[in-house]
Each structure stands twice: as structure tokens, then as C-alpha cells.
Amino acid sequence: MKKSLLWSAGILGILLTACGGGTDQSATSTDASSEPVATEAAAPDPKGIGEIKSVDLGTGVDAALAETGKAIVDMKCTACHQLNDKRLVGPGFQGITNRRRPEWILNMITNVDVMLEQDPTAQKLLEECLTRMPNQNITQADARGILEFMRKNDEEKAGERDAASK
């Protein structure tokens, strides 16, 4: 009898602990809901978050650099991205240089974890795609090759490139 009474009291205590504290939870949810409003009000930096602050694109596409970038894209990117405007796992590459500044693209490639945590544009893409882009440990030099390949791809498929940097 004493044993069943102790078990009942223990279970009751666990239930009260698990279900209690409704006031603290509503205060927490109020705080959490007010946070995104402040974040959304701030305008995103069109250059993204990371070490790359400026990029000199030159006058045309560097064919050798674009070839280097294509090899990296084929090896590390095409499992999730297509060269057209269709989404696979991640968004398609077509038109990227017309929508995003070159600094943003390079920061997204080289600093993906911080970009997904802090950049509103990257967070919006994450909400749409529902899959985090993995950190591929791409160097800035390799990322520059990828950007050059994206510029070439946009010129061929979209008919223009670099509209976002004008």
C-alpha cells in the first residue's frame, strides 16, 4: 500500500513539473515573437556577412577562371544546384549575378554558416529550400572561380550578367 502511494505521488510530481510553469512559457514566447520583428525591420546588407567587402569584376568574363570555377561547381555544387532557374535541393544558379551582388555570392560560398544564421536574405532562401547549404570549405580563390563561372552561366542562359552590381 505504501509502495503504490509513493509511486502515485512520484508520478503526480512528475506530471505537475512537466505541465506546470505556463506563465513563464507565455513570457518566453512573447519575447521570442518580438525578436524577429526587430530583425526584419533592419535592412539586409546587400554584400552579405563575411570577409569579402568588395570585388573587382573587370570588364568581361575571365574564361580560365570560369573553367576553374566550373570544375569546382561540377564537383561540389551540382548535387543540389542546377545551372538553370529550377530548384533542385537549393535554388538554381541562372540569374544569380543579376539578383545578388558579387560580395554576397562570395560570402555565401565562403561563410555559409554565418550567412544562414545572420543574413536575412540567406535565411529567406533557407525557409524556401528547407535544407541548409553545407560548408564545403571553399577558399576565397576557388569561390572567385565559381563566381566567374556563374557570371558566364548568366550571360549564356539569362542573356545578361552582373545586373545586381550596377
In a domain, 37, yes or no: no
Which residues are CB-contacts of 52 (< 8 A; sequence separation ≥ 6)? 103, 106, 107, 110, 140
Counting other chains too, the contacts that 115-118 makes at CB distance below 8 Å and 24 or more residues apart are: 115/48, 115/49, 115/50, 118/49
Q: Examine residue 140 and state whether it is found in any structural domain, yes or no.
A: yes
**110 inside domain:** yes
Give the predicted TM-score (pTM) of the model: 0.74
Inform me whether the pLDDT recorded for 125 exceeds 90. yes
The answer on pLDDT for 88 being more than 60 is yes
pLDDT computed for residue 110 by the predictor: 98
Q: Does residue 44 form part of some domain?
A: no
Range of the domain at 81: 63-165
Q: What is the CATH number of the domain that holds 115?
A: 1.10.760.10
Q: How many structural domains comprise the chain?
A: 1
Q: Has residue 51 got a pLDDT over 60? A: yes
High-pLDDT (> 90) share of the chain, % = 71
**pLDDT value, residue 34:** 46
Q: Does some domain include residue 43?
A: no
Q: Within a domain: residue 143?
A: yes
Q: What's the average model confidence in pLDDT over 55-75? A: 96
